[in-house]
Amino acid sequence: MKRIALVALLALSGCQALVSFDRDQIVDGGQDASMDAAVDVSTDVSEDAMPDASMDAEVDAEMDASMDADLDAMPDAEMDASMDAMPDAEMDASMDAEMDTMPDAPECSMPSECDDGVACTTNECTENACVYTPDDAACDDTIACTVDSCDAVMGCSNEPSDALCDDENPCTANTCGATGCEATDLCSFTTVELSDLTSIVSVTATTTASGFIAIVDAGSMILGNAPIAVGTATVEVELNRPLASGETISAVLYLDEGIVGTFESDVDPIALDSGDEGITSEATLTFDEAVVPDAQWTLTGDGANYTFNARPSTLGLAEGEDPTIQLESGWRYRIVSPDSHPFEFFDDATGGPIVRLSETLDPAFESTVSIAWSEGAMGSDFTVSADFFPAVNAYRCSAHPTTMQGVVEQAP
């Protein structure tokens, strides 16, 4: 092993080793010593022949001298045994350990030598080593709703985030689009129209938050309101007065943010669309005032009493058993009575009752044009004109005239 290593080193150093001997004449014990002596002599001769000015020769000479000293100092048998006994893996590990302890060559001396090709990293040369630091700010795409981040390997990432677009408006759906936040309106009105009475407006609307629909006149006065649940629904809004034909009103959507279930115009906010405008719908309602009633009573009876149920409940109409009813001049009313208890108005005069309007009789007073008495499937309608009072002052059931009856008055 020593001879092979020596020859290899000599060959690499450019030295020529001339060794001549008869292997058969050298005993095994002296073979290695003879070769060492011969190699040393031959090497010295070759080195003397090389030019002194040659740097390679000087290096080779130093290596040879050192190697000769080491080889001469180690007994031949010990060197052979040591090298032969060392496993290849152990030898590799030993060489790796020696290489690891050698100082690394400097990786860089200036930042320009550390370009990693990733646009969003800052490249620095720190203590002769390249340091690459991701910089999220370098990935800003100027779109407010994207999450901008820098990966040291992949580069910039701009992930859209709908959550960053949340405007906390229950009536909008918010998404992050190609140019920024986008909002879609979710709440709207479909129809605003008159119901079967001039004091009730029928509204169809869609909302994603529970709230109220209020009807507002041209003077911004709230005429009535009704609750609306999440979804699409048609609700009837009862007003505090009848509407006039040709009147313009607005339906306004309010959110229920005060006392739950209670409309509070000074607390509950008006719902807003994506443009921060109030969600409203304007309508101008036209109808025949001589035909469409303003208010209605639905009656039930048991032979002893009429029970009155008013619609709408917002007009202050009398209710209950045989109440005294007050009629507003100029209003048109509807009476809905059961077939078994037909209704009639009369004058409770001193000389005896005089029937004026009846569902069973046909008194002449029914032809009064201003009153426009009408009987139909919906009920019996009439207008309280100047001709109505004082011709009428009471009502009764024509089938039970002595028990089911009450007083009629003109409203103040």
Q: For 72-121, write each residue's pLDDT tens digit.
A: 555 554 544 554 555 566 655 665 555 555 555 568 999 889 999 999 99
Which domain does 393 fall in, by range?
Answer: 295-410
Domain-located, residue 47 = yes
Could you give the number of structural domains in the chain? 3
The reply to whether 258 and 321 lie within a common domain is no
C-alpha span between 255 and 183 (Å, rounded): 19
The reply to whether 270 and 318 lie within a common domain is no
- Between strands 374-376 and 352-358, the pairing is unpaired
Domain end, chosen from 86, 112, 138, is at 86
pLDDT at 263: 98
C-alpha span between 242 and 217 (Å, rounded): 11
pLDDT at 65: 54
128-142 residue pLDDT tens:
999 999 999 999 999
* Kind and range of the H or E run holding 38: helix 28-49
Domain end, chosen from 260, 285, 310, is at 285
Domain-located, residue 107 = no
Provide the strand spans (E) within 280-360: 280-285, 295-301, 306-311, 320-321, 325-327, 332-336, 343-349, 352-358
pLDDT at 88: 60
- pTM check: above 0.75: no
Domain end, chosen from 238, 265, 285, is at 285
Flag residues of the chain having pLDDT under 50: 1-57, 59-60, 67, 71, 77, 79-80, 83
The reply to whether 318 and 268 lie within a common domain is no
Q: Which of 378, 380, 350 is nearest to 362 (CA)?
A: 380
Domain-located, residue 40 = yes
Domain-located, residue 217 = yes
